[in-house]
Structure 1
Amino acid sequence: MRHVTGTLTHALQPAPGPRPRGARVLHDDGLLRAWTVGHPPEEVLRALSGDGTSEVILVGACLPTAREAQDAVDAASRGHWHAAGRLSGSCLAIVRTGRTLRLVGTRAASVEVHWTSTTDTLAWSTSAAALAALTGAAPNLQRLLASITTWGVEPGADGWFDGVHRVPPGSALTLAPAARPAVERPPAPVGRPFADAAEALRHELPLAIGLRAPAGRPWSTDLSGGVDSGAVTCLAAAHADLTAVTYVDAAMADQDDTRYAAEIAAAYPGITRHLVDGRRTGSRHFDALTDRPGLPVTDAPSLGVGMLGILAAQLAPAVAAGSAGHLTGWGGDNVLDAFASPADRYRSGSRAAALRDAHRLARERRSAAHPVLRAVAATGRGTYPKALADLAETVLAAAGAARGGRRGPLVRHDGRRPLAHPVRPGCGGRPHRRPRTPCQPRRRPGRPARTPRSTPTSATRPPTPPRPTAWPSGSACATTPSRPGPSATTPTTTPPSSTRCAVSATAGTSLNAPAWPPTRPGRPPTPPTAS
């Protein structure tokens, strides 16, 4: 696991402290120490000011040019430390001005800064797991669960392990020998007209791709046929010949993007295109997870781990070509198609603009507009804690319905009020707030109550089949998937739509055994379901 780690000693007479195993010294002046683990020397770039009072150290991949690093250290000497955080590349920026040290990760959170403090020493690292190993901290299960269920929500200073803090992306952890650690946020960027921003993008995007071109070595790109990967591939082909990979499956094989990818490759002679069909390679989601020692180690849960089998098949042509770097179009929608959240704009008072954004969002996602408008209005009238509580209630209600409806109330971590209400057994897993008789129908105002239905006597009631006493292991109700997922080879498990679905097979019986519970008089029997 590659990372950069350092310590700041508070003691007047510092003693030698722990250092990472297999580390290379990056900085050591007695009080401030820093090491690199797994980073070769060519992934370290230094720039020093003319008077020697300021320094910028960059550690990582895709480093900027020496001229850009020198401009960043000159800006830091004038107090603009955030200039180092805006450099291109995926790297950690260590900005030293006098005896003050600022640690800046990437704005896209590809490199993050974590820290923990004791009585004598403050330790920081780009790996939260390394600090947890140093202090013996346990994982923060609530934080890890929130990172999966609330994708896109910035957690702030909450870390992945107890006692290990996290610096928000783009911010700096400021360390000084005689001061407490502080988190500094960069100044907000100055807005610019759309035409000026488009011109800046036209200049910066080819420059960024050119900086990542390996000199005299082969490289590769993704070429799905979309705007993002297509633009990256065309700009990369202007620098050197490359290998472009198009991955398809049953859902993507007949889409227009696949045809666009073929047209782009035909227009550029320097592009060697490889079409990888997941149906032929047999790659599926959640493959390659049995080899636990071979899985990548990450601080937070990564959804990309579920695509290891697909990525292995997709990158096989690039590996065979000896590619020294692989470019993708991931994140292009976040940068080029990003706009303020409609719910945030609604909450801030710009309700008309928020509803227009919601309508545009629904049109771009090819979904109905009214549900999106209702969701934006409902979310805008509430708060984020309430929205998260409602999300937890919805998820837990569905989980309770899939388990048969027997679930008790789940209280919040602070124990003040429940996140979700109990689920009524046998009523489709619908949550309720007021105690009522199970499955009692709601009455509309002004409508008379129905006459109770007569209960059949023992003479008219059909015989009740014996209730199963042994359930087969692994039996489940078969349901029809709602729609195919992103890959036709993706195994999907759809929970039962209601808690009334019956298991129609018992140990030692056939699939034609009568279903439980028995059908009502006058109704056709329910066909047995496969298990």
Structure 2
Amino acid sequence: MKSLVGAWLPEGGVLGIRPAGAVADHGDARTPLWTVGYREDEVRAVADGPRSLLVAGACGAGRAQLRAVLTASDGSWWESTRSWPGSFVAVRRDQAGVSVRGDLCGLRTVYWARLGEAVVWADAAAPLAAAIGTGPDLVRALCAMTVTGVDPLGGHSLFEKVHRVPPGGVLRIDPDGVRVRPAPPLPPVVGHDHQQRLAAAITAAVRLRVAAAKSPTTDLSGGLDSGTLASVAAGFAPTLGITWRDRFSINSDVHYARDLARQVPGLDHEIVTGTEESANYHGLQDVAEVPFTDGPSLALATLGTFDLIYAAARAHDSDMHLSGEGGDAVLTGWGALLVDAWTPGRRREVLTLIAHWARLGDTSVAHTARRLLALARADHHRELARLAEALRRGPVAVDRPNLLARCGPRPGTAWLTRHGRHAVADIVDASRTWTPRGVPPGRRDYWDAIHHSGTTHADTARIAEHHDIALHLPYLDDTVIGVCAIAPELLRFSPRDYKPLLHGLRGTVPDLLLERRTAGAFDGTARVGLTAREPWVRDLIASSRLADAGLIDPARATATLDRTLCGMHSHAEIHHLIATETWARVVDHHRDHWWTPTGRKDPACA
């Protein structure tokens, strides 16, 4: 697995281990630093005396920009890196210690753990857990699966005693200890040309990837996000767009993809068709063959689809594949965003949007407006306390999550045992200590969606690595998020235009795509896959790790499976459960694969 791993050692300390597969050591005796799985052109470093900077990943900074960061102050050096196109981890070292920053969305999250008097850090949590001898934190994983609107992590991770640097933050390790500096606010932008700024950011992000690719390929779903990237990429080099056709769902995506490929010069097109064999949950039965993910990845359900797409990419001699994932989170905003927009001079337009939202939810305008008003008045910390109290009080019945609630239970809470309910409630309560106060509900939801997308697709990229494909997600670059996050709410939610922020690319992206008003559905492949793998799913639930820990009742989960198979329940909850149970098993399988001994080990680092 591609990773960046480092450590800070006490004076004279010896770690005694190094990452398995490490091909380069970029550090020194006090601050060793290893890269695993990176190509040579993906790792760049500059130094000036005791100071050095290393970036790992796709980074569009020139050498002069890299060197300028060496002389920047300790409190602001990472702010300069936010303006660089790409997705990367940056590490700056000096005489006193080391500083590490990931990105704004969590696609490149930084983790750390104590190993005796040493501190080890990496851009994945599982290797650190293996180093210190801990395992998955099943309660936090369960919390992510059973409640919504709650950050179960804060500075924690999904592994016990492994700490997370929240997205946008910077890790600092020196003789004074370990500190995490929160993300600085995004700088204000002069002017209102958000669409043109976004067009420039996306163009730079795509150009960076295409320039480093042998034979670029891209998703071409027929939707706006992937179609935009495909159109931009084809302007720089011949690009193959790959469309996955779901035989078991009805939508117009393939037709849009085919028409788009005809209109964009330089864009070739290939369609791969799903089968019953490649439907959901294919390839999960043999844990040894399941790609490693750092958390319960919902993408694991679609391994069969990835097999088809990446086989087509490899046949094209591609080593770089673009994906439009993350576009929905970054370019749009739903529900609570309208509360933030409710200001004098804009209320008539907001009421129009509320009516549009009501139609989407098949409810009355008055009912939707009342719920939005209640959302605006709600105190998020108080709502978290009420949710924790409700979980402790007894079973919580819910058919589907309330999309306009600040937080609440998901249907999976019905599976919780008394111990499970109290364990989740404790984390919900604790989350109030790291959940900021006073954040408008729309802005909170927007950043929650971006962070969820980033951490989710970090594992999607790891699945692509399993096929020797570098997956790139330009919508999750800091430069792209930085433009979208400060754009007016009504540029991210419009009943007349879908994703109007992308209209700055009109001319590069054909009108047929920018004016599309529909979205594809792929529920058929989930239904077919679950039916085909029913015996395996039942065995998975019967041998549940969550049940072994006393957290869920497998009989209740099986009852939900029965209702899902009969079409009486959404696939979402069983999908989450399968991902969590599979992840716990894969982690156990990989536990001894992360590190190799190097000889003497200092007791201070044990």
When the two structures are superposed, what TM-score results if normalisation uses the length of structure 2? Answer: 0.61
Rounded Cα–Cα distance in structure 2 between residues aligned with 1:207 and 1:418: 40
1:244 maps to 241
- Residues 287, 37 of structure 1: alpha-carbon distance in 2 compared, 3 angstrom cutoff: same
1:33 maps to 32
- Residues 44, 374 of structure 1: alpha-carbon distance in 2 compared, 3 angstrom cutoff: same
Q: What amino acid is the match of 2:92?
A: V
1:60 maps to 57
Task: Name whichever of 376-385 and 162-171 sits farther off.
Answer: 376-385
Q: What amino acid is the match of 2:270?
A: H
- Residues 229, 343 of structure 1: alpha-carbon distance in 2 compared, 3 angstrom cutoff: closer
Rounded Cα–Cα distance in structure 1 between residues aligned with 2:116 and 2:352: 50
Matched, 1:2 2:12: no
1:393 maps to 396
Identify which of structures 1 and 2 has the higher relative contact order when contacts are C-alpha pairs closer than 8 Å and 6+ apart.
2
Matched, 1:218 2:254: no
Stretches of structure 1 lacking an aligned partner (at least 5 in a row):
420-483, 502-531
Q: What amino acid is the match of 1:275?
A: I
Matched, 1:272 2:268: yes
Equivalences for residues 48-447 of structure 1 within 5 A: 48-49=47-48, 52-61=49-58, 64-75=61-72, 79-150=76-147, 154=151, 155-176=153-174, 178-192=175-189, 195-214=192-211, 217-250=214-247, 253-255=250-252, 257-278=253-274, 280=275, 282-338=277-333, 341-342=336-337, 345=340, 359=354, 362=357, 365=360, 367-368=362-363, 369=365, 372-379=368-375, 380-383=377-380, 384-386=383-385, 388-389=387-388, 393-395=396-398, 411-413=421-423
Rounded Cα–Cα distance in structure 1 between residues aligned with 2:427 and 2:288: 41
Q: 1:224 aligns to what SS in structure 2? A: coil
- Residues 362, 68 of structure 1: alpha-carbon distance in 2 compared, 3 angstrom cutoff: farther
Q: 2:38 aligns to what SS in structure 1? A: coil
Rounded Cα–Cα distance in structure 2 between residues aligned with 1:81 and 1:304: 31
Residue 355 of structure 1 contacts residue 373 of structure 1 at CA under 8 Å; is this kept in 2?
no
Q: 1:412 aligns to what SS in structure 2? A: helix
1:454 maps to none
Q: What amino acid is the match of 2:32?
A: R
Q: 1:258 aligns to what SS in structure 2? A: helix
Rounded Cα–Cα distance in structure 2 between residues aligned with 1:175 and 1:400: 39
**What's the CA shift for 1:393?**
2.1
Rounded Cα–Cα distance in structure 1 between residues aligned with 2:115 and 2:207: 44
Deviations 1:353-374 (A, max 9, x none): 9975982772684643555445
Q: 2:523 aligns to what SS in structure 1? A: coil
- Residues 97, 82 of structure 1: alpha-carbon distance in 2 compared, 3 angstrom cutoff: farther
Identity %: 27
**What's the CA shift for 1:32?**
1.7
Q: Pick the structure with more helix per residue.
A: 2
Stretches of structure 2 lacking an aligned partner (at least 5 in a row):
399-408, 430-519, 531-559, 569-606
When the two structures are superposed, what TM-score results if normalisation uses the length of structure 1? Answer: 0.69
Q: What amino acid is the match of 2:261?
A: A
Q: 2:32 aligns to what SS in structure 1? A: strand
Residue 61 of structure 2 contacts residue 85 of structure 2 at CA under 8 Å; is this kept in 1?
yes
Deviations 1:462-505 (A, max 9, x none): xxxxxxxxxxxxxxxxxxxxxx97332322676559xxx9xxxx
Q: 1:244 aligns to what SS in structure 2? A: strand
- Residues 16, 494 of structure 1: alpha-carbon distance in 2 compared, 3 angstrom cutoff: closer
Rounded Cα–Cα distance in structure 2 between residues aligned with 1:16 and 1:494: 47
Task: Name whichever of 166-175 and 141-150 sits farther off.
Answer: 141-150
- Residues 134, 258 of structure 1: alpha-carbon distance in 2 compared, 3 angstrom cutoff: same
Residue 85 of structure 1 contacts residue 104 of structure 1 at CA under 8 Å; is this kept in 2?
no
Deviations 1:37-86 (A, max 9, x none): 2234332101235xx35322012346644354344445457943332355
**What's the CA shift for 1:172?**
0.5
Q: What amino acid is the match of 2:125?
A: A
Q: What amino acid is the match of 2:104?
A: R
Q: What amino acid is the match of 2:396?
A: E
- Residues 343, 226 of structure 1: alpha-carbon distance in 2 compared, 3 angstrom cutoff: closer
- Residues 160, 323 of structure 1: alpha-carbon distance in 2 compared, 3 angstrom cutoff: same
The number of aligned residues is 425
Residue 140 of structure 2 contacts residue 427 of structure 2 at CA under 8 Å; is this kept in 1?
no
Query: RMSD over aligned Cα, in angstroms?
Result: 4.0
Larger Rg: 1
Q: 1:289 aligns to what SS in structure 2? A: coil
Task: Name whichever of 225-234 and 1-10 sits farther off.
Answer: 1-10
Deviations 1:415-442 (A, max 9, x none): 88999xxxxxxxxxxxxxxxxxxxxxxx
Q: 2:227 aligns to what SS in structure 1? A: helix
1:446 maps to none
Rounded Cα–Cα distance in structure 1 between residues aligned with 2:98 and 2:356: 43
- Residues 326, 381 of structure 1: alpha-carbon distance in 2 compared, 3 angstrom cutoff: same
